[in-house]
Amino acid sequence: MTGLYFHIPFCAKKCPYCDFFSVSYHKETVSQYVGAIIRNLSAYAPEEMVDTIYFGGGTPSLLSAAQIGEILNACAKYAHLSDSPEITLEFNPTGERTQYLHDLRTAGINRLSIGTQSFSDAQLSLLGRTHRAADGIRTVMTAKEQGFDNLSCDLMLACPHQSEAVLAETLDILGKLPITHVSAYLLQVEEGTPLSGSSELLSHLPDDDTSVDRYLQTVRTLAEFGFQQYEVSSFAKAGFESRHNTKYWTCEPYLGIGAGAHSCYGGTRFQAKRDIAAFCTAPIQPTELIDPSPCGTEERLMLALRMKRGVPVDALTLQAQKKLPLLEKGGYLRAENGCVSLTPEGFAVSNAVIAALLG
Amino acid sequence: MDSQKIRNFCIIAHIDHGKSTLADRILEKTETVAQRDMEQQIIDNMDLERERGITIKARAVRLNYRAQDGELYTFNLIDTPGHVDFNYEVSRSLAACEGAILVVDASQGIEAQTLANTYLAIEHDLEVVPVVNKIDLPSADPERVCEEVENVIGIPALDAPRISAKMGTNIEQVLEKIVTDMPAPQGDPDAPLQALIFDSYYDPYKGVIIYVRVKDGSVKVGDTIHLMATGSEFVVTETGYMSPSNLINTGTLTAGEVGYIAASIKSIGDTQVGDTVTLADRPCEEPLPGYRKVNPMVFSGIYPADGAKYGDLRDALEKLQLNDAALTFEPETSIALGFGFRCGFLGLLHMEIIQERLEREYNLDLITTAPSVIYKVTLTDGTVQYIDNPTNYPDPSVLASAEEPMVKADILVPSEFVGNIMDLCQDRRGTFKDMQYLDDTRVTLKYELPLNEIVYDFFDALKSRTRGYASFDYELLGYAPSKLVKLDILLNGDIVDALSFIVHADKAYSRARKIAEKLKDNIPRQLFEVPIQAAVGGKIIARETVKAMRKDVLAKCYGGDITRKKKLLEKQKEGKKRMRQLGTVEVPQEAFMSVLKLDE
């Protein structure tokens, strides 16, 4: 089974912490861009069954429902869709968008990943987000009313001034919303972003220990609300794990279309060039090879260890297996029933734990 | 060659007073080197020397000069190492000369090495010709400096040439002084050969090339030479003089001349600086005075950061030793650092130079242990041992007494910093000996100090307490009884042998605390807490803890971009190679190095 990923690199306003590739929204360009996506779909015409489709960004919710519909129609035309594909769209919770949500649902989108980030207005404005807490709540409620039964909310952790109480309030609201999934990210200061240049904000970032306290608070609280952690940053109610994102961790193929989109497809990893003009005009998106033979043992282990289900003990080298008792004693992982899986404390230091096991 | 027309001389100066620049100008003015061929400071031909502005090994060059009297003179300019570590080599270079140009900076005046080198020159009966350099600087005060030379050193200096080597001002005056003031060499060309080795280097094609000053007699190609100290004999394949760019084989050298001999000599150990060359079939009666075997004074373990580079390190040391008989090394094993070498050096600068050359010229990444001196210990059964590696220091229960090497240090410092320096010397267990005012603003302090207190970071500390103005020179005095203890460092409860060192009992606590703090700052947080302890004879005297790491995660993976995670994993693996795994603790190279610089 293959996943399809569409990268929509347009934003109304760039968030000060974000270092992903995106440009300002421009109606004409976006329409050309949608045409190019469809052209690429016809060019690639994936043979394998497609069971997930994901619109990521950027801000895919800047596309009109009609444009989304066109792309999904093209998917149906040029690819083989499975019976019940998971079709996700990243949604920016700004303004009153009842009609839009209705149209998206009608066009075939069945899962929304909503960029709520926080339900504290103070936090949202610190993060430079244009929406308020109420916008996030309303978007979720409206989407639910419009027939979305699979909703995910984004949550930003370790933000400036994010105390335990501030986070608790946000988590409490999350727990009451009719959602199935939460993606919780630790804020990372990326070089070159406006955040990295703001000494005022940087001085209020929590230190590593506090950041991890927030992370563990999140894991704990979400569990109480019925969201089980299944990956470093992902939490879901039973049966609502993101099928698309899971492909990333399990080395299943996905085809990324759009300027800057990543693919693991046709036996290689590659990335489309971050060049919107080139994407819009070329018959097929220009790409750069990242890895000619991906999904080797080490890569698989590295990715699989980010998931709660972990890896079989005997998939590890003997040398790595010898390290297990100590790491288990440190509370970083559990080795039981022939399986090794990281604990939440282990996820918080997963770079080091994975390096220890693969090094 | 008429020996009356030969002048053999060297240039002595404190660091940065312009020795090399003056040498360049002399080469230029004597038209030995065409301007366009001239690389700046041709005599210092090692990169490192040029960078540090110091001369590490002596070089010599022959120049021709048409003097104002119309005669053509042959100059042999012998360059001397400019640092205390190479004192013996300096003394042998001086012994090859009749005269010395003393370069003094027109604004800085006399410094510690000016004095040390001048006294050494006077000891060797050299005619010292003072020259005041850098008169082009706005702060230059040549009259004051000339007076200082007269008053402090006691040699006439009022008519000393005032020059700017940089601008080429008044260089002719220096050349004339060499002709008029310095004596021509004496010596009997018909006597048995007696020549002084003042330098040597290894040439891959010709074998060892020895630089000699012929005192008596002569040597020619085909002669069998006898090296008196080592007792070895060789047949001369080439002999002649050194032009600035290459060796000129003239086939013979006679009394008064400075030149080279090649004799298919395989090992530089056979050609010890200070040794006397004579002829096997007509030997001179006695060797020239002053020869001694050079012994290393400072020892340090040198290990490759990447254990796989052990062979490369050995090859590099062997190559360096070809040209540096004073460098010693033998294999050593450390539990913490694996396979490496115990290396012996003449002094601190020598050690730094070797380390830097290994890293730079041989592209090696090194971990070095704290420098150690040689301790003399007497065991309870009466046996005496010399210990150059703290790991081998005997257990206190079998130790009867311990002695450590002492040095006599001369420190020149502006008077405003005298207090700071006295505090420093006090702190380094120094014994005050004498203090003299050189003039209104400068003071020379004499201290006796344990060598072990100056091998760590004394020079840095000296500079930082005097805004860089202090200068310093030392010579070895001998051994003195001392209350020494071995300080062990434990990580996660295990002794790290490479971090053990010997310290005076009174300083064990403060040193232990500093080391523990340094290690804490330099060992990154890891998955498990790392206790750092310092112990003397099993008793813990300092303790720090590196807390366990809690956050090390890349959360984002938008759109299936796993490249950052892979890169990170690669980086971590690469980083691990630079780490030493001690039990469960990973110790970065920097942590081992950080304990070498404790003075903040």
Interface test mutation site (partner A, options B492, B525, B558, max chain A beta carbons within 10 A): B558
pLDDT of B571 > 80? The answer is yes
Whole-angstrom distance, CA of residue B75 vs CA of residue B63 = 5
Cα angle B126, B130, B132 (rounded to 5 degrees) comes to 155
Write down the pLDDT at residue B463: 79
Report d(CA A91, CA A144) in Å as an integer.
13
CB within 8 Å: B548 and A303: no
pLDDT of residue B351: 86
The pLDDT value recorded for residue B57 is 45
| Whole-number pLDDT of residue B112 | 77
B267-310 confidence digits (pLDDT tens): 887 888 899 999 999 999 999 988 777 778 889 999 998 889 99
* CB < 8 Å to B528, chain A: 326, 330
- The pLDDT tens digits of the residues spanning B199-223 come to 888 888 898 999 999 999 999 999 9
Write down the pLDDT at residue B53.
44
**Among A256, A327, A351, beta carbon nearest to B560:** A256
Tens of pLDDT along chain A (359 residues)? 999 999 999 999 888 888 888 899 999 999 999 999 999 999 999 999 999 999 998 999 999 999 999 999 999 999 999 999 999 999 999 888 999 999 999 999 999 999 999 999 999 999 999 999 999 999 999 999 999 999 999 999 999 999 999 999 999 999 999 999 999 999 988 888 888 888 888 889 999 999 999 999 999 999 999 999 999 999 999 999 999 999 999 999 999 999 999 999 999 999 999 999 999 999 999 999 999 999 999 999 999 999 999 999 999 999 999 999 999 999 999 999 999 999 999 999 999 999 999 97
Q: What is the least distance, in Å, from the CA of A345 to any CA of chain B?
A: 8
User: What does the pLDDT read at residue B556?
Assistant: 67
User: Tens of pLDDT along B246-266?
Assistant: 889 999 999 999 999 999 998
Residue A82: how many CB atoms within 10 A of its CB? 13
Of B92 and B126, which is predicted with more confidence? Answer: B126
| Min distance B500 CA to chain A CA atoms (Å) | 28
Residues in chain B: 600
**Chain A contact set for B573 (CB, 8 A):** 355, 358-359
Q: What residues does CATH 3.20.20.70 cover in chain A?
A: 2-248
Q: Do A186 and B568 touch (CB under 8 A)?
A: no
User: Residues of chain B with pLDDT > 70: what percent?
Assistant: 93
Predicted pLDDT of residue B110: 86
Query: In sequence order, which residues have a C-beta less than 8 Å from that of residue B134 and are 6 or more positions away?
Result: B17, B18, B105, B106, B107, B140, B164, B165, B166
Interchain pair A7, B559: CB under 8 A:
yes
Tell me the nearest-neighbour CA distance from A241 into chain B, angstroms.
16
Torsion on CA atoms A140, A142, A148, A151, rounded to nearest 10: 0
| A150 and A140 Cβ atoms separated by less than 8 Å | no
**pLDDT recorded at residue A320:** 94
- Residues of A with CB below 8 A from B569's CB? 298, 302, 351, 354-355, 358
Q: How confident is the model at residue B599 (pLDDT cuts 50, 70, 90)?
A: low
The pLDDT value given to residue B419: 94
**Using CA atoms, how far apart are residues B429 and B511, in angstroms rounded to an integer?**
14
Element holding B574 (H helix, E strand): helix B563-577
CB-CB neighbors (< 8 A) of B554 in chain A:
188, 350-351
Mean of pLDDT over chain B = 87
Residue A344 and residue B555: Cα distance in Å, rounded?
13
pLDDT band for position B58 (cuts 50, 70, 90): very low
Span B68-73, average pLDDT? 92
- In CATH, the architecture of A2-248 is Alpha-Beta Barrel (3.20)
* Angstrom distance (rounded) from CA A37 to CA B416: 77
How many Å separate Cα A102 from the centre of its chain? 23
User: Which range, of A20-24, B129-133, B174-178, B531-535, averages the lowest pLDDT?
Assistant: A20-24
Question: What pLDDT shows up at residue B35?
Answer: 45
pLDDT in tens, B29-50: 876 554 444 444 445 455 555 4
Number of Cβ within a 10 Å radius of residue B486: 22
Report chain B's C-alpha Rg in angstroms.
27
Nearest residue in B to A289, CA atom = B563
Question: For B230-250, what is the mean pLDDT?
Answer: 91
pLDDT of residue B31: 63
d(C-alpha A214, C-alpha B503), whole Å: 47
Q: What is the pLDDT of residue B32?
A: 57
Q: CB within 8 A of A176, min separation 6: which ones?
A: none
- DSSP characters for A9-23? -EESS--TT--S--E
Query: A302 and B527: CB-CB below 8 Å?
Result: no
Nearest by CB to A256, from B555, B559, B569: name it. Answer: B559
Q: Average of pLDDT values for B520-540?
A: 93
Distance from A18 to chain B by nearest Cα, in Å? 11
